Structure 1
Amino acid sequence: MRYIGESINRVDGIRKVTGALKYVDDIKLSRMLYAAVKRSPYPHAKLLKVDISKAEKLPGVKAVITGKDVANRVGLYLEDKTFLATDRIRYRGEGVAAVAAESKEIALAAIGLIEVEYEELPAVTNAVEGLKKDAPLVHPDMKEYKWGPIFFPEPGTNISNHYKIRKGDVEKGFAEAEFIVENEFFVPHIQHCPIETHSVIAQRDPDESLTIWSTCQSPYAVQKALSVAFNLPLNKVRVLSPAVGGGFGGKAGTTLEGIVIPLAMKTNGRPVKLTYTREDEFINSFVRQGLHATIKTGINKNGKIVAVKNTFIWDGGAYTEYGVNIVRAGGYASTGPYDVPNVWTDSICVYTNHPVGGPYRGFGMSEIHFAIEQNIDMLAKKLDINPVEIRRINGLRPGGKNATGQVVDVCGLQDCLEDVVKKLDWENSIKQSPSKPNRVVGRGISCAYKAPSMPNNVASSAIIKINDDGTAHLMVSAQDIGQGSDTVLTQIASEVLSIPPNRITIKTGDTDHTPYEWQTVASRITYCTGNAVIKACEDAKEQLLGLAQLKLGIEKDKLYLKDGYINSDTQPQKKIAINELALGLSLEDGSGIHGPIIGRGSFIPPGVKNTDKQTGQGEKPVAFWTYGCQGVEIEVDTETGKIEVLKVASSFDVGKIINPQLIEGQIEGGIIQGLGSAIFEELIISKGVVLNPNFVDYKIPTADDMPEMIISFIENEEPTGPFGARGVGEPCMVPTAPAIANAVNDALGIRIMSLPITPEKILRALKEK
């Protein structure tokens, strides 16, 4: 292979580092109006009256809307939300009205003139409490909602999805176990913290079509949601996402688009723009769901786990239109990457009066693995087994079965485990820092796995057109949100067509001009869109070879593409440049055939089927699994409780490396994001109020927190992947936090059961010890 496996420079790199790449907030259109939103001061309340009359009279105000202008419910998996509150407030900060004005200042002044009457209601501020029969209902009209067949809401309760795993006979397993251990863990809400906050511009044209410029990961998903919300045909809704300055899942669904559009419908063709402040971003965009996890484990004295009973209670927030699928993913992955014969899991999504929970890098796996991987270490300690050995005993291998009963054919978990053990020099651990007596060294290890968390029939597509100078344009709607997909997809096209990457230009993110893509989520783009690109390029290649066969008089199975030419195996002296056939074949009599070379390709993951509704069992519920392992070395200051992560060794089975430089960058980013969730990050919410919606009070890692990173890969090719590749962008974050938690225990003999692992928690645990 010539281009696959090479560290090709990012195709968007120059535009990004020079500032030439334009993001939505950089766009300035003629006669632009600016929007602001009136938001609720209560986490739960009846909305009695919204008086907009004074705001409408303010000079410079061009449009004012309320919930009646956006009354249709929308949602990707569960249609439970409106873009502005209609009759009830469900979280503090929810929008109740919006204004478009000549300037931001006028818009904000107008918001202050809107008068709202509320009747405050008791709030649900704890997911466990929200399960109780006497808990206030966040969505009393849930029975009227629509949802997909793989989700199981329970109207009349706060449960928006209850996903079950019933594998084997769990009670029999516990009866046969020699030890039974039960542990509880808690993971709080955290924020995505992209550099770029959400921003949207909407404009209505005279023919009543809408153009939306949005900082979104998934233009087609946004287009579909807006079509439903405003009763518009899809051909009248154009969504463009020119560039995305970080997403991590927070820009996967719809947020402020549905607020700006009804304003634009009232402004006679003038575009309307709304850009979130950082505080808006913290409160009014997706947050990662909270999790209360209880794990009961039956194990034998030889270290073999024979039964697991999990209860995962997810704090889904005010709306769970996206969150219900996180809960499903947490359910079918609920044992972690371990072969357990008897499993009982209840994964339950609960409405609360907290900010809206949604997709976040790892999609539930980081949360459940924090519990699962600490639990594994706690079992090892009880049996006096090395933490590595217990993972060797129970970790999945080819031929093993996961929680859904799926037989695992390709699995490099054990290879990754041994790789990390070697890289971290696990057997020669150091307990005390020789130069700093008050600092204790600890090591921890964690395994992980993740699958693309998506419905079974989601599609990707690609188009490639060959230009008449032999260059090409590749068109997809997969969004490069920093992960490097533009470069990887270009490399894949280069490999198939033997055209250098610098002669292929990729175009993305325009529902009018780039082909369908379900969403840029789930670590699926290299796999799904990569396969679509291969098919599109193979289609173009077949057309080229067919024309070359006529031109050269050589059967096309004897022809191949190389360096911009179509060459012959049997007659090397005969060849023809690709550009000579780009617009079709000209014949000697002056006629022509075929016309321009345009290749198309589409892809749906093969053989993926729903699991059983009652048991969660299924032979292939997901497209593939990505396995990996991370080990960490930390220092803990026993006087201050501060953790310093010194070293991280990481190994993942990625199937096939497309671009080494980019995949290393993905792993590095995942490690740092995982480190942040482990020791810094928590959205502090008291009685429904977010207390730290800014970077002064909400801490994320900086350059000073970067550890030494030893990154390596295993390549067991994925049979259905492009050149054998599978996704790793999300899985690489999953094991970091539990590995750090296990290292804290190794260093100090204490166990922190909730995130983040702060100095205060460490000092408190040391004092209790």
Structure 2
Amino acid sequence: ILVGLYMQDKLAIAKGETRYQGEVVAAVAATTEAIAEQAISLIEVEYEVLEPVRNLDDALEAKILVHENIAEIKHIEGVFFPQPNSNIASLNKSLKGDLEAGFEEADLVVENEFTLPAVAHVPLETHVAIVQADPYSDRIRIWTSAQSPFALRQLMAFSFGVKESDIEVHIPFVGGGFGGKAGIHLEPLVTLLSRASGGLPVKLRMTREQEFNYLPTRAGMRGRIKTGVKKDGSMVASDIVYDWDSGAYADYGVNVGKTAVYGGLGPYDVDNVSIVSNTIYTNKVFSTAYRGFGHLETLWTVERQMDILSQKLGIDPYEFRMMNMLRPGDTTVTGELMTRSTGCPTDCLSAVVKEIGWTGRKSEEDRQREWKTGKIRGKGFAMIQKAPAMPPNTATAVVMQMSGDGHVKIMIGAIDYGQGALTAIAQIAAQELDLPIEMIEVIKETNTETNPYDWNTVASKYTFMGGNATIQASRKMLEQMKNIAGQVLRCAPEFLTHGDGYIYNVHRPDRRIAYKDMALGYAYPDGNGIGGPLIAHGVCMADG
């Protein structure tokens, strides 16, 4: 079974060759852990030790290829670009202006290299999955600790060649993710074990040691940056190469690497730019999403360079950034037109600088004075241009229903793994409906069979998108209640407003109806009724 969406380069169980030391070569399902451990101990594997690709430089030399068949690996064409006879899983570029002419114009050229290591996610709850594969049909039921149930359903259907509607994904409480539980991980292997067991449910829970050895990390990154500036501080050229150590496989790695050519210059207006981003195979644990999806790595490269440049020019780092910042009317390195709706980086930086009380770099006298007190306090700031790698139809939905006692239950497709999604949605609904937050319940478990769709719980998108969907659903529910109340109170809905659990006439607040009296449909004293159960939904799709 091949696993992957962007790059189908990984098997659920290695065949013929392993590409990193923690890769699965055999698996056992048993009725107890003790029996499973005993069975595993009886398996003997003979390895022929091959020379590994240990680092980025070895990988770029391409004397040894991690994947001999890189040109044959299925991938999303036109988005990712594997380089034949190399270890480059994808080479992405952004070019703007005339780089050579830009550097000729510069009064000062500074080159630097910055690196960040691979980092494990280390959520409190390790990866765990239970799968039951129906032996008589294509149906697969999954209970798993994952961030994105609908994306997992899509990936599983893709890997096993079945319909999405045949996959049922349950997500209970998740004990942390940080990007490491996005995508697909244990589920294909456990599905194979369930099928091999005649359709019995199979559970696999990673130990902490197995997390480090088998499951993906943040990619290591090397950023090489060359910047040309004029004496007045204006940036005229920037040449950046990002090399990402994606490890043995690159399904999510290539998407992280691709973001670097969108946001890898930071929010700066430079006329002559080249950004090259190489997602590279090595014989290490493979990589995946990690908090920031590659943006924090490019931020480290660009913003460290900005501080060094400002020091060499003798310009305050705040002023240096402000004079080179993108503003409405400018275009980004990829040609996107900046508008007020894009956001205003200058306003963001000005607000931060004001809040922290920035007064410029410390003088040597200031530093010596602090050393004598024994208390040293540093101040700093950095900018980032976040360009999430989301499809144009990125969307989310919520469904809300009112109970007979006036409580509102809300179903979402996103996952709260510690970031507070459930609380945020409850707060937004309570504010829109003007109800105490205790009257709002966001259902905690997500099931793709019953919950509304959400693309992925990633990219810092959910409070904005899920919040707007909740606002829309709340207003639809209020509209339903006003239509019912208008008939009961014999007035047009536009003369009705809401508050404190009631719909009432704006001119006669004493003429009112409680939400709960309409929740299941309004009953007249004479035995007639109107309306029906109050159910509303809201959607939000990324725009622009």
Mark yes or no: TM-score above 0.5: yes
Alignment match, 1:124? 53
Distance (whole Å) between structure 2 residues aligned to residue 134 and residue 482 of structure 1: 44
Q: How does 1:373-412 map to 2 (within 5 A)?
A: 373-410=303-340, 411-412=343-344
Q: Give the counterpart letter for 1:99 in structure 2.
A: V
Aligned counterparts, 1:376-455, within 5 A? 376-410=306-340, 411-422=343-354, 423-427=356-360, 429=362, 430-432=366-368, 444-455=380-391
1:271-670 residue pairs with structure 2 within 5 A?
Answer: 271-410=201-340, 411-422=343-354, 423-427=356-360, 429=362, 430-432=366-368, 444-507=380-443, 508-586=445-523, 590-607=527-544
| Equivalent residue number for residue 238 of structure 1 | 168
Letter in 1 for 2:533: P
CA-CA distance at 1:132 after TM superposition: 3.0
Amino acid at match of 1:530: G
* Alpha-carbon distance, 1:386 to partner: 2.2
Residues 660-690 of structure 1 show CA distances to partners (whole Å, capped at 9, x for unaligned) of: xxxxxxxxxxxxxxxxxxxxxxxxxxxxxxx
The residue that corresponds to 2:3 in the other structure is 74
Q: 1:180 aligns with which of 104, 109, 122?
A: 109
Aligned AA for 1:460?
T
Q: Deviations over 1:160-190 (max 9, x none)?
A: 2222111222222222222222211111111
Identity value in percent? 41
**539-548 vs 441-450, which moves further:** 441-450
Match of 2:33 in 1: 104
Contact 1:203 1:210 in 2 (8 A): yes
- How much has 1:355 moved relative to structure 2? 0.7
**2:42 aligned residue (100, 113, 124):** 113
Superposed displacement of residue 400, structure 1:
3.4
- Structure 1 CA distance for aligned equivalents of residues 228 and 360 of structure 2: 28
SS state at 1:448 partner: coil
Match of 1:154 in 2: 83
Structure-2 change in CA distance of 1:312 and 1:514 (3 Å)? same
Q: The residue matched to 1:175 in structure 2 has which SS?
A: helix
For 1:302 and 1:528, locate their aligned partners in 2 and report how far apart those are by CA, in whole Å.
42
Amino acid in the other structure paired with 1:545: K
| Deviation by residue 1:143-173 (Cα, 9 ceiling, x = unmatched) | 2413264333334432222221112222222
The residue type paired with residue 325 of structure 2 is G
Alignment partner of 1:134 out of 47, 60, 63: 63
Shift of 1:271: 2.6
AA partner of residue 231 (structure 1) = G
Aligned positions of 1:201-216 closer than 5 A:
201-204=130-133, 208=137, 209-216=139-146
Deviation at 1:476, TM superposition (A): 0.3
| Alignment deviations for residues 623-642 of structure 1 (CA, whole Å, 9 cap, x no partner) | xxxxxxxxxxxxxxxxxxxx
Three-state SS of the structure 2 residue aligned to 1:499 is coil
Q: Distance in 2 between matches of 1:170 and 1:571?
A: 70
Q: Which secondary structure does the structure 2 equivalent of 1:201 belong to? A: strand
Look up the SS of the partner of 1:368 in the other structure.
Answer: helix
Give the match for residue 188 of structure 2: 258
The letter for the 1-side match of 2:491 is I
3-state SS in 1 of match to 2:323: helix
Question: Aligned to 1:595, what secondary structure does the other structure show?
Answer: strand
Distance 1:590 1:342 in 2: 76
CA distance in 2, matches of 1:594, 1:437: 72
Post-superposition CA distance 1:475-513 (Å, at most 9, x none): 001111111110101111222222222111111421122
Cα distance in 2 between the residues matched to 1:86 and 1:592: 66
Which amino acid in 2 is paired with 1:602?
Answer: V
Contact 2:410 2:442 in 1 (8 A): yes
How far apart in 1 are the matches of 2:53 and 2:218? 18
Q: For 1:331-379, what per-residue CA distance to the aligned partner results, in whole angstroms no more than 9, with x for missing partners?
A: 1101112121221111111111111111000111111111111111221
SS at match of 2:297: helix
- Is the Cα–Cα contact under 8 Å of residues 79 and 147 in structure 1 kept in the other structure? no
SS of corresponding position for 1:315 = strand
Q: Alpha-carbon deviations, 1:510-532, whole Å to 9, x = none?
A: 11221111111000111122222
Relative to structure 1, the CA distance from residue 544 to residue 128 in structure 2 (aligned partners, 3 Å threshold; closer, same or farther) is farther
Pairing 1:192–2:121 present: yes
Deviation of the 1:249 alpha carbon: 0.3
Query: Residue 558 of structure 1: CA displacement?
Result: 1.9
CA drift of 1:261 comes to 1.6
Q: 1:597 to 1:415 in 2, by over 3 A?
A: same
Change (3 A) 1:82 1:545: farther
Q: Could you give the per-residue CA deviations for residues 231-277 of structure 1, whole angstroms, max 9, x where no partner exists?
A: 33333322111111111101111111111122122334543221111
Quote how far apart the aligned CAs of 1:393 are. 1.6
Letter in 2 for 1:470: G
The AA in structure 1 aligned to 2:385 is Y
SS of the aligned residue for 1:446 comes to coil
CA distance in 2, matches of 1:392, 1:199: 47
CA deviation map 1:45-83 (0-9, x unaligned): xxxxxxxxxxxxxxxxxxxxxxxxxx2x22232222222
Cα distance in 1, alignment partners of residues 321 and 167 from structure 2 = 51
CA offset at residue 216 of structure 1? 0.4
AA matched with 2:187: E
Amino acid at match of 1:309: D
Q: Is the 8 A contact 1:130 1:136 kept in 2?
A: yes
Alignment-mate amino acid for residue 595 of structure 1? G
The answer for unaligned runs of 5 or more in structure 1 is 1-70, 608-769
SS of residue paired to 2:153: helix
Specify whether residues 292 and 271 from structure 1 end up closer, same or farther in structure 2 by C-alpha distance, changes over 3 A only.
same
Change (3 A) 1:428 1:189: closer
Q: Residue 166 of structure 1 contacts residue 344 of structure 1 at CA under 8 Å; is this kept in 2?
A: yes
Aligned in 2, Cα 1:439/1:596: closer, same or farther, shift over 3 Å?
closer
Query: Any idea what SS the aligned residue of 1:494 has?
Result: helix
Counterparts of 2:211 and 2:154 in 1: how far apart (Å)?
23
Give the Å deviation of 1:116.
2.4
* Alignment: residue pair count: 536
Kept in 1: contact 2:96–2:272 (CA 8 A)? yes
Q: CA deviation at 1:600?
A: 1.5
- Mapped partners of 1:448, 1:144: distance in 2: 33
Q: TM-score, normalised by structure 2?
A: 0.92
CA RMSD in angstroms comes to 2.4
Normalising by structure 1, we get a TM-score of 0.66
Q: Do 1:334 and 1:403's aligned partners in 2 also have CA atoms closer than 8 Å?
A: no
Give me the whole-angstrom Cα distance separating, in 2, the residues matched to 1:553 and 1:248: 53
